[in-house]
Structure formats: C-alpha cells, structure tokens
Amino acid sequence: MSTENEGATGPSEAMPPTGPQASDSAPASASGAQTPDTPPVPATPPAAPPPPDFAPTTSGAPHGHAGPAPVGGTPGDQDRTVTMGAHPQPGRPHSGGGWGQQPPYGGGGDPWGAPGGSVPRKRNGGLIAAVLVAALVAGGIGGGIGFWAAGRDDTASTTVSAPGNPEALNRKPTSVSGIAQKALPSVVTIEAQGMTGEGGTGTGFIYDKQGHILTNNHVVASAAEGGGKLTVTFSNGKKYDAEAIGRAEGYDVAVIKLKHASDAVLQPLPLGRSANVQVGDATIAIGAPFGLSGTVTTGIISAKDRPVASSDGGGTSASYMSALQTDASINPGNSGGPLMDAGGNVIGINSAIQSAGSGGLGGEPQQSGSIGLGFAIPIDQAKRVAQDLIKTGRPVYPQIGVQVGMKDTGDGATIAQSGNNGTDAVTPGGPADKAGLRPGDTITKLDDTVIDSGPTLISEIWQHKPGDQVTLTYKRGGKENTAQVTLGQRTGDK
C-alpha cells in the first residue's frame, strides 16, 4: 500500500495518491469565462420626441501575461487538483481554476449595506465585455422619463442631468466598496518566471512594513526553484522585483520580500482570526483572475474545516489543508490573494478551487469556470507558517510519527503495517509510539474531528503546532481506544 509518513515524512518527498485515478501502489497528484462578443443593442425609446442617444461602450482586457502556463494551458497561476475528504473530485486550486460567481444574497442586496447595483467586469484574453440589453433598456426608460418631465411643451430643447446628491455616493467604510478601496493598495499581482520561461500570474498581500508579502507556494515555485524572476505589481501600477524568503510546500504558503521595500508605500492588511469564522459569514476575495488584477468578488463562508489535498498536475507539489470553503468567485490568478471578512480582516489565503469537469484530452483536467467551490488556507495557520519562514526560511511541520494509507476509504486513517522503503510505520520513540499506537490501528478522530482518511488526518494535525497535545481515537481489533499524543516536529526544506 502506498503510504505517507504523516509528519515524519516531509512534504518535499513524493506525495500520496489522492486523486480519482489514484491507486494504493502508485503515487498520484492531488491538489487547488467568457461570453461571446455581443454587438451593442440600442434601447427602444418611448414614443413621441426621441430621447438622447444611448451608445454603449465596449472594452476588453488582455490577459497580461505572455508566458506559457506550466500545466493547464491558461496563462496565469498554476492549475491544481483538489481532493476533499473521503470523496476525491477532480478540480483545480483557487489560483488555477475558473469560477463564475452566483450571488449569495437574495434580492440583490449585500451584507455590508452598500447600495445595490452591478459593476461591469473585464474579461480576459482580449474578449469584449458587452453591455447587457437589460441595462440599456433601463437606461432608455430613465432617459425617457427625464425628457418627458422636463419638456412636455414640445417647443423647447431640454438638457437632461442626473439628480445630484453627493452624499448618496459616499460609501460606508464597512461596505464592500469601502473595504475594497482600503484593501486594494495592499494587494499585489505576482508574476513568476522560471529560467526556461515557465511561470504564471498569482496574487499576494502585504504582510508587514518590512516588505514581506504572503502568498501561495505554488504561485512562486517556478521562479524560486529555477533561479527565475519574481515581479510584484501594486494597484497603482508600480512594479518591484522580489525574492523568495521561504516556502512551505506542504502548507502551500510562501513569503516573498520586495527588494526595494523603502521605495514602496507598505500598508499591511489586518489579520483576523479564522478560528472565529462561522458558516454564513460574508467574505470578500481580491486577486488577479486570468491576469485581471484588482478584481473584487463577494460570497459567504460555505463550510469550515473542509479537508482538502491539492497538488499541481505533475505531482511535484502537494499540500493539505483544513480549509475555509467559500462561494466567492475565484479563478486562475486568484491564488495567494486574501479572503477577508465583513470587517476587512484577512481570514484566509485563497488557494484551491473545485472544478466541475475532468478527463480532458490525455486525462488532463479541463479548464472550467467558477462553480462556487473555493478553498482558503485559514489565516491562523498561515500566520504561524509565515512567522517560521521569516525567522528561519524553513517551515516546521507538527507530526505524530506514523505512516498511514492515503487511499480515501471514509473509514479512517489506518497506520500501515510497514513503512516506505523498509522503515517503521510507527517511528520508534515518536509521539504515536509513546502513546501506544501500533501498525494496523485505524485513527477515526482527532479531538472532536472525525478522521475519514489519511489526507484528513494530515490536514488536521497541521492545524496545530509542535508541542500541542491532542486526543486520538482509534480502533484496534474491533475495539475503540483513545490516546493522548503530544505532537512532535519536523523541520522541512520547504
């Protein structure tokens, strides 16, 4: 059986099979829209004197990144696959998959009390953003009313203007607009390019005034591993070179630093507490989907503690998280960007998305639009990892010192009878060994969290830090037992 040393085996080693095509014997990777051009449709004015012309404008935005994507063919942040709990599904990490947002609130309102209304959004790849017919009709009606109210004598020309009320345009600081305007200068677009030209576009945000930026490992890996180049672009268009300070592949967290931080205006985003998040809380995501930097989307927390294993298509990078799930629209390029609460505090790092389809040509996952299933690394975990990376440049992984089967069965995480390459499945003298666990034991709970698989066990352990004491519930010979385990640690290269 293919196994993963849960804690004792570092994330830099070959990752276990977690995808739908995985088997117990061969490792497999697991991991993290457009409309056709529409010609403008003139509004139909009311009868009688003709209203003013309504000439819709069209605009397009190129993707903004000429380099080839490393996996999925879409320039931008890398494609990844997500596996959730005991039911692996083909998908992509948030930075590497496309999603279309569904309004999470009925009636067109929003939880921040901002005025209703929609904001036209640019599309990638030079596509034209056509003005909706409904908007034109609404505009025609409004113009017609203004005209008739002002000029019923049919003899004089009339100038129509919108009613003026400057106060109506003031946005509350707690509205989506208020939060976005404050946060956007602290959110950056990251372009990573390896020595051979591979790379893509992702997102990051200012972590401190020393110029550290928090993002995903898979956003910067191509440049950091190959001696490539990292470029950071702020919302005002200014660009800066950056360097990788530390990367945690297992957590999918990385810290980079501006090379000339003194030249930039650095305003760190406030960090919230992901432990305090509740299902149904409002969320705001900011990023650069398909290279469209400064894109703001909203949603809610759909679920907490969602076990997610994510990896790139090549199996060279895999991570495990007990994720925050959100329905805010997240697409390729959003990876590494902040997921914020209704107070403008960062509660997670957008990292992976679930794709609706898989099995394209050659068995590769298909690129698809947002289906409202996005996953973010909880900020409580990401903050701890970032502090380790800034301090030492290396991540620290808590461990219990066992190797478990990684096939998703839904029945728990079973300790292997023998470890990889002839090693012990239970590390002698390790935390699990001291607590009395043996090969063949099936771990079913960690504290109050149900464990349905090896990836779930890892993601839950990595929510803690070395030295924490946890209660493991396990089955042996059909009987249920519990053990108190003090987590050990392993320092990784990445």
Q: pLDDT tens-digit profile of 279-300?
A: 999 999 999 999 899 999 999 9
CB 354 within 8 A of CB 91: yes
Task: Determine the pLDDT at residue 264.
Answer: 75
Angstrom distance (rounded) from CA 374 to CA 335: 10
CB 109 within 8 A of CB 97: no
Any long-range contacts for 436-441 (C-beta under 8 Å, 24+ apart)? 436/483, 437/400, 437/402, 437/472, 437/474, 437/483, 437/485, 438/476, 439/415, 440/414, 440/415, 440/476, 441/414, 441/415, 441/474, 441/475, 441/476
Note if the pTM is more than 0.75: no
Dihedral in degrees, nearest 10, Cα atoms 368, 372, 373, 378:
130
Task: Determine the pLDDT at residue 217.
Answer: 95
Task: Determine the pLDDT at residue 147.
Answer: 31
Report phi then psi at 211, rounded to 5: 95, 10
- Can you list the residues of the chain whose pLDDT is less than 50? 1-79, 81, 83-111, 113-160, 314-315, 358-365
Task: Determine the pLDDT at residue 189.
Answer: 97
Which of 376, 355, 383, 377 has its CA nearest to residue 367? 355
Task: Determine the pLDDT at residue 47.
Answer: 46
Task: Determine the pLDDT at residue 368.
Answer: 58
Task: Determine the pLDDT at residue 139.
Answer: 30
Q: What Rg do the C-alpha atoms of the chain give, in angstroms?
A: 25
Residue recorded with tokens 């690129």: 367
Helices (runs of H) and strands (runs of E) counted in the chain: 6, 25
Angstrom distance (rounded) from CA 377 to CA 392: 21
- In 288-384, where do the E strands start and end? 295-312, 318-326, 338-340, 346-353, 374-378
Task: Determine the pLDDT at residue 41.
Answer: 41
Half-sphere exposure of 160 (CA within 13 A, CB side): 17
CB 210 within 8 A of CB 261: yes
DSSP-derived letter for residue 270 is P
Instruction: Provide the annotated active-site residues.
Output: 218, 252, 335
In order of their start, the domains of the chain are 400-491 (2.30.42.10)
What pLDDT digit, counting tens, does each position of 407-434 carry? 767 889 999 998 888 899 999 999 999 9
